[in-house]
Structure 1
């Protein structure tokens, strides 16, 4: 197993932290391990002000245990969470994983983009705007500038598709119409609900009825939009559980005395859904 960090945009401290399984040796044929593997790009939440630790390492560990290569995206936050920046970061991450799929033993047709809360918004922005001409133009301008500066990780990325093969959105933000816009970054592709189309990737989403930070109606409205456009999706609305549950296990919630009885089921449901969705294509 290898761990390494890719600098995608040093100006905004955007990185991709990879944990990938070693490729099987030529002598290991047939390989005893799945090869090539599915991949998941993880976007932690944090209200675009920080990146949540509980939604980082425990999630990486869970997907590694399920046989995924994992990539933790540290996208643009704080003063950098403006305009198209987070969506460009997500697009770049998907393109980069596909560009290095053979090297890392990844199946480039099984790349999921997973996000929690604000990270779910990042995933939603790319899932609904990946083919937007303005987003592609913003990507191109940024990539060319970074390559000229010597940031080699950006070279040739536009040769690869940025559309994720699935979106996983956990108690996610999908629009800014429920908050004071002055308290949130001005994101070019901020409304994901109205932007859902038949080209939106298959989506798994879940939330809880007790979430007092992001209204659970955000997920319900997004699911309704997916149904309207005929996009394949699975939606779970758990009755109990506060915001920020991550895997809803003690590993990710050492600061909480008690956890809801069944929200942890989202992970097994999601893993089963991902594999079934990809097999059925």
Structure 2
């Protein structure tokens, strides 16, 4: 392992932990990178959510790093976001020499670090491929508590937000669970894939929740500690090679949401089914095909009607798994 430290403005820094290119590991090829952003309310960077997290990811075979951003009397949301952007660019710069897969750069942030990780995933032009949020601060009301000028991040989610894994606790005694729930709702509204684990029990700031990294006995929580293995599994699922699938021969066998990606199709289908303009109603049928819809409600949408509609529709772009 090689450790390198890159210093930014006002002593903000990126510490990277890199696997060396040993002959024994030659079959591995380029490795993913996990960027860790510790919490601390923008007052400090919690060491419990910094190196211990990075080294655990390192042990899984990933490269990893810790961002220590503008905090305390240097706190600035704008500069902290710049620190995060610089970190991603620096990781990309290191890619060739250290065999980093730049398509597999994940960010994980805790509490205030979760706020910054979510900001990086939504407001930056350099986004990670995956975002992991641990008991994150999201809302503008909490940004005010942290004494930073930042937007309410659930309002910044878009279709370009990367797939997200969020874990927190219902009993969080510092950041209300409302922050997580509203962010998840925003992801769902924009069709951003996500996985969430909201544990009933557990205090704020549990980190790995093991006795080796809990600063108090109540910060050890065996059940909560499962988040780490769940995250690793989730990352691997999302990083599996995406292959282009052959398109269905019949337009009737395309998912309705796929047909609606074509503006011509959208106009035609919304004319025929005006109630689909209501997003809550569209959600009910968007995963279905026109064939399935015809089979489910033949009294309202029979086979003959389906054929007439299909004659007007255009074939969408190929499906991707």
Aligned with residue 173 of structure 1, among 114, 127, 137:
137
**Structure 1: segments with no counterpart, 5+ residues:** 132-161
Aligned with residue 21 of structure 1, among 19, 22, 29:
19
TM-score using structure 2 length: 0.72
Deviation at 1:190, TM superposition (A): 3.3
Match of 2:41 in 1: 47
Deviation at 1:82, TM superposition (A): 2.0
Q: Deviations over 1:206-250 (max 9, x none)?
A: 100111100112111111100110001111100111111111111
* Cα distance in 2 between the residues matched to 1:175 and 1:120: 11
1:92 matched to 2:54: no
Q: Deviations over 1:64-85 (max 9, x none)?
A: 1111111110011123222511
Match of 1:144 in 2: none
Cα RMSD (Å) of the superposition? 1.7
Q: Which range moved further: 58-67 or 165-174?
A: 58-67
Aligned with residue 227 of structure 1, among 176, 188, 199:
188
1:196 matched to 2:191: no
Runs of 4+ aligned structure 1 residues displaced above 3 Å come to none
Deviation at 1:258, TM superposition (A): 6.2
Aligned with residue 130 of structure 1, among 107, 124, 130:
124
Q: Which range moved further: 208-217 or 80-89?
A: 80-89
Q: Deviations over 1:127-179 (max 9, x none)?
A: 11113xxxxxxxxxxxxxxxxxxxxxxxxxxxxxx111111110001122257
Task: Note if contact 2:33-2:105 (Cα within 8 Å) is conserved in structure 1.
Answer: yes
1:248 matched to 2:243: no
Match of 1:141 in 2: none
Task: Note if contact 2:210-2:221 (Cα within 8 Å) is conserved in structure 1.
Answer: no
1:109 matched to 2:103: yes
* Cα distance in 1 between the residues matched to 2:142 and 2:15: 32
Where relative contact order (Cα < 8 A, 6+ residues apart) is larger, the structure is 1
Bigger Rg, which one: 2
Task: Note if contact 1:55-1:252 (Cα within 8 Å) is conserved in structure 2.
Answer: no
Higher relative helix content: 2
Match of 1:4 in 2: 4
Q: Deviations over 1:173-192 (max 9, x none)?
A: 1122257x3x43333x4321
> Measured at CA, do residues 212 and 257 of structure 1 come closer, stay the same or move farther in structure 2, by a change above 3 Å?
closer
Deviation at 1:57, TM superposition (A): 2.1
Task: Note if contact 2:210-2:219 (Cα within 8 Å) is conserved in structure 1.
Answer: no
SS in 1 for 2:217: coil
1:185 matched to 2:147: yes
> Measured at CA, do residues 83 and 116 of structure 1 come closer, stay the same or move farther in structure 2, by a change above 3 Å?
closer
Task: Note if contact 1:208-1:242 (Cα within 8 Å) is conserved in structure 2.
Answer: yes
